[in-house]
Structure 1
């Protein structure tokens, strides 16, 4: 092989790999959920574990009323979970906003590529005895601040939600401890 052919093949190979090596891809590898005290059970399930710039991963969040009476759930943003984020354990890393179709269905939240805003309208709805609600949230690769273990929390540092039962007028805040481990996938074999 002469020098020109070698340089041509090497250049084409590097150009082909450049696109692959530019944006990291991730995998949701583990989810841990602590039990909550009170009448509500909380669960999170990874539906699509692959997280790329072009195709987000997805998480289904479920809250279930395990009591025999109705429970009112309150939060800000979209009901019942609000504006969720993955919060990195490491200092100086940004929160990762989780997206949901609920943002497009409400006037209370405005999400753009660079910002998130809410009008702080409190949403209160009732969850009947034994009733469950599941909402899907998406993890976009271009919003992640890298691999690691994250905790699930409110994007604006509030509680995930508050609740009250028929026998009380005061609200109880709930912040279940949820950890989500995300690892970077190798793009080369």
Structure 2
């Protein structure tokens, strides 16, 4: 791992490398298990990241049993089946469209936030947006724990929702494989857009 000093970034160069520059999407993993304690530590870190009105709609389902893993693999795209079947841990990340049930009745700046979202026609889109933000936080948390993440969106979402969440209030956003990277875990690093291609001023 190489360290780069970047002006104006206050976390250590080593942390910059671990979280961003050297971090990659893993496609193979070792057999080392991912423990519940590691997942709890990841969640206890990333839960502090912001969501709109503190909605916190992300839900994480740890697919641990062989039977559940087989069911999940059956819903994955062909290119994702083998790595999902072999990863130490697969996590289904969903948006809970009933997130408002967990909001306090009184929440500034909306005095009756729970009632507001109970009637809001945009509740599902808000849940999806904010849970998607939390997916990004989750991936960074996995990296902060010294593990590698393999996020995937190639799957039959309706099939996973019907199979794992028949109550109908979960919308699948991503399946993330988690573990220690194995042999040939990385595809070649793809280029990133430069600052002037992304940032403008008005």
Q: After TM superposition, is the score higher than 0.5? A: no
Give the structure-1-normalised TM-score: 0.25
Q: Greater helix share, 1 or 2?
A: 2
Higher strand share: 1
TM-score, scaled relative to structure 2: 0.24
